[in-house]
Amino acid sequence: MDDNQRSCLGFSLCGGFGPVTFKKLVKYYTSPSKAFNAPESQLLKLIRESQAGRLIAFRKNYNAEKELDKLKRQNVWVIACTAKNYPKQLLELYDPPICLFGKGNILLFDFLKDTFVGIVGTRKATAYGAQATQWISRALSSQNIVIVSGMAIGVDTFAHKGAIDEEGRTIAVLGTPVDTVYPRENAGLCNTIISGYGIVISEYPPGYAINQGTFVARNRIIAALSQRLIVVEGGIQSGALITAKCAGELGRDVYAVPGPITSESSKGPNSLIQDGAHVLTHPNILLTGKQQLTAVKKENKPSLLTDTEEKLFAFLSSESLFSDELAQKVKLPISDILPTLSLLEVRGIVKKNADGSFTVRV
């Protein structure tokens, strides 16, 4: 590890510094090392007093080599966001993880050349959802595609198991540290993955206190790692749909498995389809449709836009605009603009910039 990577590890272990604050400090100081070692008087101008005090106290006793040895004894590896082997897909995020902590053989993966497909869905998978998930996962794994999911019970579990059934590769992105298996009943699955079928990863160091927010945050990592994302089952307000939204914002292709209109578990995927997501009725759609989908993304103007979508597309093609500015230009209430923008994001037609404005995705 070089000084920048040691500093990244320090920020992760210190606590109280999320990716956004870290990014702000690095931008100001030009490197993680300079940010980590900045004088307290300067830090107080950029971050809260409690954060500055925490960092000053932590770095007095911080020894990167000792921390790395401790991780090694737990069979945990770590990759800092400045390292060459850090997955470049994650750097597309507004808030990429400062470090990735993991277990398993990361050498099984080439993050520049491998194809990664995310599969997510409800924890309360129906028999239909379980069957569909494993069918899709097995078919993709048989073609050497890496399956990415969150190792929760339900759809996530069946996604990982489908890959293992085909002796394929899979990545489990956790909302907990890698030394904490949640749910406990997936301890066996976790051990199987790291025994030779893939890796489990987390942005949280061992011992980190988890909360509901840590599970929500991991959805963006699943979305970023995946070139394509599949939603099998899930409610309208489910984490699976949050992941789909993240994928859309990143320009990933979003697929949804249709389900019975009477099923609560199918409301999420069905709503995505209604909003423009690709319908997935057979794994071969992903295996044979790449050229067609790429061609659609290269068109100057997507087809099948509504009148309102076409107006928004026209304005955003020439400049970045905030939602209220768009509303003024198209002379519509902002309450009508926001749902349309969300739909265009999910379809990968427009993207939301770091400052909150929108533009057409090139």
Say yes or no: 315 and 167 in one domain. Answer: no
Angle value at C-alpha 213, between 130 and 351, nearest 5 degrees: 80
Residue 86 lies in a domain: no
What pLDDT is attached to residue 356?
A: 82
Same domain for 250 and 336, yes or no, is no
Q: What is the pLDDT of residue 158?
A: 97
Domain final residue pick, 57, 74, 91 = 74
How many residues are listed for the chain in this entry?
362
> Are residues 311 and 265 part of one domain?
no
Number of domains in the chain: 3
Per the DSSP assignment, residues forming a β-bridge with 350 are: 360
Assess if residue 82 is contained within a domain. no
Q: Which domain holds residue 138?
A: 106-293
Q: Which of 234, 268, 293 is the last residue of a domain?
A: 293
Structural domain includes residue 96: no
55 and 182, same domain (yes or no) = no
Q: In terms of DSSP H, where are the helices of 254-306?
A: 267-274, 284-288, 290-298
Whether residues 17 and 35 fall in one domain: yes
Distance CA 158, CA 189 (A): 10
Supply the CATH number for residue 192's domain: 3.40.50.450
Q: Which residue type does 211 have?
A: N
Let me know whether 19 and 168 are in one domain.
no
In this structure, the answer to whether residues 124 and 264 fall within a common structural domain is: yes
Residue 220 resides in a domain: yes
What was the pLDDT predicted at 302? Answer: 58
Q: What would the pLDDT profile of 14-56 be if each residue is shown by its tens digit?
A: 988 999 999 999 999 999 999 999 999 999 989 999 999 999 9
CATH of the domain at 347: 1.10.10.10
Classify residue 89: in a domain, yes or no. no
| Same domain, yes or no: 186 and 64 | no
Question: Is residue 151 located within the same domain as residue 26?
Answer: no
Residues 169 and 241 in one domain: yes
- Enter the DSSP assignment of 321: B
In a domain, 93, yes or no: no
Domain assignment of residue 111, yes or no = yes
Would you state the pLDDT for residue 297? 37
Q: Do residues 321 and 350 share a domain? A: yes
Please spell the DSSP secondary structure of 91-141, one letter per residue: GGSSS--SEEEEEE-GGG--TTTS-EEEEE--SS--HHHHHHHHHHHHHHH
pLDDT of residue 311: 84
Within-domain flag for 98: no
62 in the same domain as 110 = no
Which parts of the chain sit beneath pLDDT 50?
290-300
Q: pTM to 2 decimals?
A: 0.79
Domain boundary among 293, 310, 345: 293
